[in-house]
Amino acid sequence: MPMPSSPSPSPSQENEAERPMASAEYAAGALSDVRLAQERAGLRARTTPAWYGPAAAVALVVPSVVRAWSDGRGGAATVVALLVSLLGLGVVVALARAARRGAGVLVARSWSSRLWRSRVVLPVVLAAGAITGIVCWAAGAGQATTQVVVFGVWGLGAWGACLVRNASIQRALRELA
């Protein structure tokens, strides 16, 4: 009678000693992929849509143009200028929300974190507007013209800041790829 042979080990049993190490390496690789995906998603969420800069610039300039138009007209023109200014503020808030929604991020950052993030850009843009206002005043431009030009510089500055931030985010995304 033939002796029963011991069952030959299956391939999974043969690699049993190597399996925990392979599983750990696989898990570490998967965790690394998850972290990389989270970092990419975070960068993409910080990207400002291309339409945001020009829209913000228009939302800043139009109320000042309407206010300049209303100077000296009194009555209804003053009310219209006030309403357009409030509407412009509402448009800026709606643009910010639309930009966050478009990025898939609805978690609003605190004002302190927003100010910290723009700690360099905000003073530069505000200073550029102030310098422009001083130049306009020194050149003898009227108050309405000065206001329109200053708000235009601020709008262009906000647009430029969006472009620079998007370029740096795109560069970081390319480096992650």
pLDDT at 144: 82
pLDDT at 127: 92
For tokens 């409030």, what's the residue?
A: 86
10-residue mean pLDDT profile of the chain (177 residues): values are 54 54 74 80 75 78 82 79 78 73 62 73 88 93 86 85 86 84
H/E element, 3: none
pLDDT at 108: 60
- C-alpha 78/C-alpha 12 separation (Å) is 83
pLDDT at 134: 94
Give the count of beta carbons closer than 10 Å to the beta carbon of residue 156: 19
pLDDT at 78: 74
Q: Is the pTM of this model over 0.75?
A: no
